[in-house]
Amino acid sequence: MTRPVGVFDSGVGGLSVFKALRAHMPAEAFVYLADSRFAPYGERGDAFVIERTRAVVRQLRDEYAIKALVIACNTATAAAIHLVRAEHPDLPLVGVEPALKPAVALSKTGRIGVMATRGTVQSSKLRALHDSLKGQAEFILQPCDGLADAIQNHDVARINALCGQYTQAIGPFGNQPGQVDALVLGCTHYAFAWDTLQALVGPDVRLIETGEPVARQTRRLLEAAGQLRQGSVPGSVTLLATGPQEALNAAAKRWLNL
């Protein structure tokens, strides 16, 4: 039996991380679960997000015997990853967090915008990360109410309007002193608004998301455990949704050509 790697998000946003995982580990089998009945997590309380995360992990372990788990959701990582680690110490686990450290390394002006859900912006995990970088850059933390939901539902007009509203609140953007020259996408959904955001902030501004480092870390963990699947045959992909399956299938086809 080929044990798959589990990937979990509140909705379709984690497909941006899943795309990087498949590129780095093409022979691996994957199970992707979108908890879309309860999406987006970013505007719900920690207790609710913890309850749902625990339920999803149990389902993926019990029904699919996953050999590792990627929590491809910033809000779920911030609220629940420490509990999942404590409750499943035998399960290799990778979470996501807004890429503030890479942004510091890339920024020349020292002003960095961070777009994230309200749940992530208010989390103790992000506050601790922010405080650890104090003095290295100035971060403008922007909660983006509604944006994950608009991307989840592929509402193009609303995506454009909200991206415009939130980038305007962060700006001005550019590579001159006092301008924001790096923009961290602190929700996995936001990678699917990449072109819209890049057009709004201009070509001199670096957009930074988390898919690549998460994929590299997951591969390292599987290699260290002797569980990385090798070979040239692409691994199987199972897509699951607690909400409408058609929405997840359409997003996977639209963004990943699955």
- Closest to 98 (Cα-Cα) out of 225, 235, 197, 190: 190
Type and span of the H or E element at 34 = strand 30-34
Angle at 15 between CA 60 and CA 58, to 5 degrees: 10
**Average pLDDT, integer, range 142-155:** 94
- Marked catalytic residue, from 17, 25, 33, 73: 73
What is the per-residue pLDDT for 27?
Answer: 96
Correct CATH for 100-208 of 3.40.50.620, 3.60.110.10, 3.30.43.10, 3.40.50.1860: 3.40.50.1860
What is the per-residue pLDDT for 255?
Answer: 87
Separation CA 210–CA 226 (nearest Å) = 25
144 catalytic? Reply is: no
User: Can you give the residue ranges of every domain in the chain?
Assistant: 5-96+211-256, 100-208
What is the per-residue pLDDT for 31?
Answer: 98
Type and span of the H or E element at 240 = strand 237-241
CA 15 to chain centre: 8
pLDDT tens-digit readout, 24-40: 999 999 999 999 999 88
Separation CA 89–CA 153 (nearest Å) = 35
The residues that bridge with 41 in the sheet, in sequence order, are none
Instruction: Tell me the pLDDT of the chain averaged across its residues.
Output: 94
pLDDT tens-digit readout, 174-208: 999 999 999 999 999 999 999 999 999 999 999 99
pLDDT tens-digit readout, 44-102: 889 999 999 999 999 999 999 999 999 999 999 999 999 999 999 999 999 998 999 99
**Average pLDDT, integer, range 235-240:** 96
187 catalytic? Reply is: yes
> What pTM was estimated for this model as a whole?
0.89
CATH 3.30.565.10 fits 5-96+211-256, yes or no: no
Q: How confident is the model at residue 252 (pLDDT cuts 50, 70, 90)?
A: very high
Contact 8, 60 (CB under 8 A): yes
Rounded to the nearest 10 degrees, the angle between the axes of helix 194-201 and helix 156-170 is 40
**Average pLDDT, integer, range 109-120:** 95
- Residue 8 burial (C-beta neighbours within 10 Å; 0-12, 13-18, 19+): buried
What is the per-residue pLDDT for 44?
Answer: 85
- Marked catalytic residue, from 187, 201, 222, 239: 187
What is the per-residue pLDDT for 163?
Answer: 98
Q: How many CB atoms lie within 10 A of CB 189?
A: 29
For 185, half-sphere exposure in the C-beta direction (CA atoms, 13 angstrom radius) is 27
5-96+211-256 and 100-208: identical CATH topology: yes
Q: How confident is the model at residue 1 (pLDDT cuts 50, 70, 90)?
A: low
